[in-house]
Amino acid sequence: MRVWDAETGICRQTLTGHSNGVNSVAFSLKGDHVASSSFYDRAVRLWEVGTGTSRYISKGHGGWVKKVKCSPKGDQLATCSNDNTARLWDVETGVCLQTLRNHTNAVLSVAYSPRGDQIATSSSDKTVRLWSTTTKECTHILIGHSWDVDNIAYSPRGDTLASASRDNTVRLWDVDSGECRHTLAFHTEFVSQVVYSLNGSRFASTAFLEYSVRIWDTETGVCSHILTGHRRSINDVTFSPQGDQVASASFDATIRVWDTGTGECRHILIGHKGEVTFVTYSPSGGQITSSGKDGSLRVWDLEERTCLWTSTGHSKRIKKIAYSSRGDFIVSASYDNSVRLWDVASGQCQAAIQGFQGGVEDIEWIEVSGDNYVATCCNDGTVGMWKVENGEDSCRISLHWMATNGGLNVQGVTIQDAQGLSQLNKQLLVQRGAVGEPVHRLREASKKLTAMSSVVSKLKTPSDKTKGDPASSTSDSKERLEQRQKDPKLQDILTAFVRDMHEYM
């Protein structure tokens, strides 16, 4: 790739690094960076124009990225995807260190052991695999579940692993031998979540379409409490930092806080207008943050049992919430294709990351060498690291690196009068937020308008059976038109048309 002086025609820089042909380039708005992609080496690079150095190069997953986890040392990220793989990434550079293969179906969850010497992955192929972080080899294949394994969690000591499956069971595994210690088969529906208390003596599990939380003794595998009270299914459950409480979020629009010692319900937090999707404790344990399906975010003071503030910044379901280590910021990930950073004290949105091409599935707050970062994974196949810089009056989030599945991620770019771009690349730029439209898309819009006008004219045409009587024809045609307008299929056609026209215009 070459950078040319527009006035003199002199070549300023030659940027080399792709292993095959460069098929697309785009400048940043300020002109200080340029992004390039190669179809053949499936890599994306971001270059500093002044120095000619590449800020990052990464190849990403080939499918939705479901989970992202940071290693205990903070030097690696682990991600998993429905492309049947998990990947390990260098936090500083974004380079993919290893691809963990051999699962035969989508990888649904990934977790580091507390010591960081082992990684566990669970899959729709009904297995859990344990990997050495040193050799990157699979050391054990945990076989026993008869359906998808949706969730896994290491005990705080790292000696056991709990797995939750759609076969309605939870299994506890010895990570050294790979043997199953306990099979807990008391749920009546598929188990959606399992989470340990911080001291590891207990863990909690929830099942879809069950309205309760079960608390288990880790050593014996005995259920000590069944926490009942919710009127609908439970979306999320989490232990307090001290381990004396469990908070649960439900479809019934409430959050319940339970005493893990007695099993009694301490608080019922009411305020969300609909389904509560996620709940988490602040690092001190004095606050709870919850999210709703409608994109709302609420922070609760547990001592006062009051809602401190409510935000409606997101427009769709919030998938994940994470606190900063000091508890002064909250970061939220949503299916509205954005991530937002919130000041806990004021409830104000300090910064937003927008432009994802799909819902953000998971986030992690990470501290590396005194700097703060947010790791993101998205169902558009991307994994990213974003640096959080907190100033006196404002907070700024900037891209540190991003791994993609071969597509070019740009924002605010114009493609008007672009030369040398294929139709495929023009469409790709439009998908990534480019300003301006290729002519062929306007032609397609014209075709859709013509087709839709034909449909509308047919809807307005009276039936042949009523042409003889004008009065009857008018009355009957109105009735038929009203019936057709109520037709669900017609409503789907109209909805799709409006959506398509919004995309084209």
pLDDT tens sequence across 187-207: 989 898 999 998 899 999 999
Say if residues 145 and 163 touch (Cβ distance below 8 Å).
Answer: yes
User: Tell me, what's the pLDDT at 502?
Assistant: 46
User: Tell me, what's the pLDDT at 20?
Assistant: 72
Cα gap 65→47, rounded to integer Å: 25
Query: In a 10 Å sphere around its CB, with 0-12 CB exposed, 13-18 middle and 19+ buried, how is residue 134 labelled?
Result: exposed
- Is the model's pLDDT at 442 over the cut of 70? no
Rounded to the nearest 5 percent, the helix, strand and coil shares of the chain are 15, 45, 40
Q: What is the pLDDT of residues 113-144, one digit of tens each?
A: 999 999 999 999 999 999 999 898 999 999 99
- Judged by DSSP in three states, 430 sits in helix
The pair of three-digit structure tokens given for residue 303, joined into one six-digit string: 């001592």
Say if residues 329 and 370 touch (Cβ distance below 8 Å).
Answer: no
Say if residues 24 and 434 touch (Cβ distance below 8 Å).
Answer: no
Supply the pTM of this predicted model: 0.67
Task: Return the closest-CA partner of residue 67 out of 409, 376, 402, 404.
Answer: 376
Say if residues 258 and 275 touch (Cβ distance below 8 Å).
Answer: no
pLDDT band at 61 (very low <50, low <70, confident <90, very high): confident
Query: What CA–CA distances, in Å, run from 262 to 135, 215, 224, 244, 245?
Result: 45, 11, 9, 10, 10
Q: Of 90-99, 105-114, 296-305, 347-356, which gets the smallest average pLDDT?
A: 90-99
User: Tell me, what's the pLDDT at 426?
Assistant: 65
- All domains in the chain, ordered by first residue: 2-55 (no CATH), 68-193+206-220 (2.130.10.10), 439-504 (no CATH)
The phi and psi torsions of 453 (rounded to 5 degrees) equal -65, -35
430 versus 446: the higher-pLDDT residue is: 430
Query: What CA–CA distances, in Å, run from 313 to 95, 255, 290, 324, 496?
Result: 33, 21, 14, 19, 26
Say if residues 342 and 328 touch (Cβ distance below 8 Å).
Answer: no
User: Tell me, what's the pLDDT at 464?
Assistant: 46
271 versus 416: the higher-pLDDT residue is: 271
Q: What is the pLDDT of residues 4-19, one digit of tens each?
A: 888 888 888 888 877 7
Task: Return the closest-CA partner of residue 100 out of 80, 123, 70.
Answer: 80
Mean pLDDT of 46-64: 70
User: Tell me, what's the pLDDT at 230?
Assistant: 95
Torsion of CA 60, 499, 320, 72, to 10 degrees: 10
Unique residue bearing structure tokens 């047919």? 458
